[in-house]
Chain A
Amino acid sequence: MTIRIPTLRAGEPYYSLELQTLTDVRDGSPVAEVSQTLPGMIARDLDRIEEHRRSLDAFTVTELVEICRRAARLFMEAELPLGDSTQTPDDYVRQLAATAGMPEVMGRANMAKIEGVMSGIDGVLDGLTRGLDLSVLDGGWGSQDGRRLSYLRQTEALGAILPNNSPGVHNLWIPAIPLKVALVLKPGSAEPWTPYRIAQAMIQAGCPKEAFSLYPTDYSGAAEVLLRTGRSMFFGDAATVESWKGTGKVEIHGPGWSKVILGADAARDFEHHLDLLVGSVAANGGRSCINASGVWAAGNGREIAEAMAERLARVQARPLDHPEAQLAAFPDPEIARRISEMIDQQLETPGAEDVTARYRDGNRVAEAGGCTFLLPTVVYCEDPSHPLAASEFIFPFAAVVETPADELLSSIGPTLIGSVISGDETFRREALESLSIDRLNLGPIPTYQISWDQPHEGNLFEHLYHQRAFQAA
């Protein structure tokens, strides 16, 4: 039976007459009918968002933290409501695979990541607030280390335009609830499962349902969310997010262009870092902005590319229920083919070679278990200005670029996560001062290894709260 997924209007399920059918990436069979929300309905509901947010004021931050902890277990283990049906953890993993193409083994790994953030939410909040005594948020002001503090909430709701690529990104908005800000979520078109399950786990754990609105909708509905929530986060490609940059209200999560950067010494010793290089590119199916799309080295570029290609060419396309699946399927096979063609076209520009092509059997586009995949691709770029040197795709892809050490950090371009490996103090100091790198991993740390108490692309607490000057007599 096809699952019916409703809109959540301040926690209340609403079944729309306008439906989007989600189909199984393997055989096109219908999996779910998702209620679509009219933009005007979102705007109308948001007129009452203050009232909905106030439901969180009935709890202290400590109580909401406890709710998150309980929700973590429910998210991981419980059979939770899903529209007019229910969903077990196994159902969730299978449904995620069916519509988003995420292998079940990766779905489970992502579940664990989400569970980790929810159960360790106190640590996350501690990191986000740099150790603030959160009772300050309950009373509006308080004292810490002998100083009076007051924080002013900047919005009633956090809007979030969410992606399809990986459930792990949903960890970024979860802290809004213990920070007493309601959530207005627009799920990715192929992946309503994760935000819906997190919301249900939180509601079952005691969180007021009014704090959750979930609106599957189109681009104009997404615009409505971004316009009518005082603060929001927006996941999207470079072209989509462009018009929302610079408003201060919208935290942009665009392409990462994350990189591993090898100083001269690390480049000489690259074989020692090969696991890290390969893992940074391929972990979680290479789907995240925290995966490396570039390896920039001060030497041995060709050798690094050859070694990475040899290793990554071993990764095979496998069915989504295979226990060793490492690649995610493309819900639309045509997109996989177009991406592959685009890479081939760009390879016609002199100065770049698809090194993996010599190591893998057959085409970059592969099929297995009824799904279409793109096999890992390592491109060696002789020229740092080659278009593929600054490309990012939603599969394990990396450009290896060699540049003299003294030009390296000024050439890399925007880098969400830069894992900089070198024992050279001057190079390390330059990395610390580089404006191109958002999150700096200094030392042999894979790009995907992040800690949620060290936020990148903006700090949610600072996005939601403003520290005001305050005196009381």
Chain B
Amino acid sequence: MDSTIATPTDLSARVAEAKERLDAHVREIVAWHFDPATGCPFWLEKAESFDFDPRSDVKGYDDLKLFGHFEDEWLRGGPVRRWVPKGLAGQPLYVFETGGSTGIPKSRINIRDFEIDYETFGDSLSGASFPPGSDWLMLGPTGPRRLRLAIEHLAQHRDGISFHVDLDPRWVSKLVKKSRWDELDAYKEHVTDQALKILRAHEIRCLFTTPKLLEHLCGKLDIVQAGITGIFCGGTEMNAEFHRFAREELVPGADFIPVYGNTLMGLARGGPFDPAEKDYTITYYPPVPRALFEIVDPDDLDRIVPHGETGRVLLTTLTKEFFMPRFAERDEGERAAPIEQYPWDGVSNLRLFSRFQKSVAVGVY
């Protein structure tokens, strides 16, 4: 038997082990956020209204239900410092935004989280397709978003340099909402032209971009021919058909890694792809224990759906910088079973929650 293939018993043991680690991590993070000496003003004030003591009553992940559901509205507006844990006071702060095409964006403070998340992800990349010391192009949303700095840090973590192009996704959303397609096309050209100049002028091996920009870029240049060997792609919704299109037509031969992430969590990586099987289903596995998903019944957020069934994504982030218990994301997908590499649940075919589909434009840049 191939020693690299986990037997069911091995996998069960690994799942149980991961759950134990998660429970221990939960206890540590909850203790930190609800200790008056280390917690942030938001949670310490909130705790005054709880009918339980987080530090003594939360013994593992399942007890996070006591907190109900995190509401992302709490992140809109200030004072943003109410989210800074006292235990991290005095350290340089970043603030990253999400949303904001209309209304006040949601803000999340960061100190080192984005660096840790991208280092962890970076350490999972293949050295052959993302060669250490090689340079990167980051062709995605910039401005007050985490991605701009995170990709740069990832490149630096792998001894590389990251080149950038400006991209304002809020402007793109406005163009889509107003059906100004020709302007949208012109903006895409403008962004892609800058990327082409960088690719032609420098020796770039690794690329981060969004699905739409990858399509557009590949319409202008055979980027594999131009030297790109590793691509990780995310930022907007991506389906199995896009995955197949990318691997078969846009960048055949390059290492293509779909990722799912946002300002509220770390980075979930697409599971392994076997070229022989040609199963293009994208299954994301979260960076447990720092963040994890549950796939739940949208009408009963406490009920986890069976493996293979569709549910809404419930996202939990557990770091010393940010505690976000059981936030109902705007996404849905099928609950995926643990695998050897990721002995915890993942989510397949991630897409906008079907009840929101008529009101939100996705995947526009």
Contacts and interface: CB of A to CB of B under 8 A. Distances in A.
Given A18-B239, A227-B185, A40 B245 contact: yes
Given A17-B244, A18-B241, A39 B181 contact: no
B215 A17 contact: no
Given A17-B239, A242-B179, A40 B185 contact: no
A244 B218 CA distance: 27
Interface string A14-43: 001110000000000000000010111101
A44 interface: yes
A184 interface: no
Interface in B191-221: 211-212, 214-216, 218-219
Contacts of A47: 219
A243 interface: yes
Contacts of B363: 220
Given A17-B239, A44-B215, A38 B181 contact: no
A128 interface: no
A44 B249 contact: yes
A67 interface: no
A41 B216 contact: no
Name the prevailing secondary structure of the A interface residues.
helix
A379 interface: no
B242 A44 contact: no
Interface size, B (range): 20 to 34
A43 B215 contact: yes
A274 interface: no
Interface residues of A, number: 20
Contacts of A243: 178-181
Interface string A221-232: 001001100000
A39 B239 CA distance: 13
A85 interface: no
A247 interface: yes
Contacts of A242: 179
A227 B182 contact: yes
A240 B182 CA distance: 15
B180 A43 contact: no
B187 to A, nearest CB: 13
Nearest to B182: A227
Interface string B164-197: 0000000000000011111011000000000000
Given A38-B241, A227-B182, A17 B280 contact: yes
B324 interface: no
Interface of A: 16-18, 36, 38-41, 43-44, 47, 220, 223, 226-227, 240, 242-244, 247
Interface of B: 178-182, 184-185, 211-212, 214-216, 218-219, 239-242, 244-245, 249-250, 280, 363-364
